[in-house]
Amino acid sequence: MPWDRNQMAARAAEELEDGMYVNLGIGIPTLVANYVGDKDITLQSENGMLGMGPFPFEGEEDADLINAGKQTITELRRTSYFDSAQSFGMIRGGKIAAAILGAMEVAENGDLANWMIPGKLVKGMGGAMDLVAGVGRVIVVMDHTNKHGDSKLLKECTLPLTGQGVVDRIITNLGVLDVVEGGLKIVETAEGVTEAELHDATEATIV
């Protein structure tokens, strides 16, 4: 059985180590926060916050306290706030250990495309280009194939890039792959998914 969204998020959470400062993207990556367990992880929100807490209880929303997806959130005892220039200074400066984010396409050389959705209006890259260029490790969490059943792990991206050669690891519903010299390397498969099935669903070169 392929992993569902929550299983993918749980698998992504295994990538995080005690003491890490991490930025989580929108969608499945947001769910990763539910699976960090006892690990001491500090979440960064690129609009200017370290130590992002959960959503507020009803009636406790604060218009001055939102995440990068513009959702109301809460602070923790460790929270600090700063301006956008400093926020991206710590991103560009390599202080954030990892970013976990969604993607539309990843190429076998680590190219990432996730800011222009085909057939839809361009809304902008937000902080995605800064994040993938700056953080220590870029982990993509996404479905292995698109809604037409085509592989999202490609020899070359067809969509406009967010970053060139930036992806380190890809976690899909079928398994985990690393970007290595010459292509992608299978790290593990989801329970019940064979390596052959993973090969069949992947356009990118598997080495």
Which residues of the chain form contacts with other proteins (CB under 8 A)? Answer: 45-49, 54-58, 60-67, 69-73, 75, 81-85, 87-89, 91-92, 111, 121-130, 133-134, 160-165
Least distance (Å) from other proteins to the CB of residue 83? 4
Of 14 and 51, CB closest to other proteins: 51
| Region label for 3, one of left (φ > 0), alpha (ψ between -120 and 50) or beta (otherwise) | beta
Residues belonging to the active site: 46
Of 127 and 183, CB closest to other proteins: 127
C-alpha–C-alpha distance, residues 161 and 153, integer Å? 14
Of 131 and 171, CB closest to other proteins: 131
Of 27 and 56, CB closest to other proteins: 56
Least distance (Å) from other proteins to the CB of residue 166? 9
Least distance (Å) from other proteins to the CB of residue 130? 3
Is there a contact between 179 and 111 (Cβ–Cβ < 8 Å)? Answer: no
C-alpha–C-alpha distance, residues 153 and 140, integer Å? 11
Rg, Å, the chain Cα set: 17
Least distance (Å) from other proteins to the CB of residue 123? 3
The phi and psi torsions of 27 (rounded to 5 degrees) equal: 95, -140
Is there a contact between 157 and 107 (Cβ–Cβ < 8 Å)? Answer: yes
C-alpha–C-alpha distance, residues 133 and 171, integer Å? 19
C-alpha–C-alpha distance, residues 21 and 42, integer Å? 5
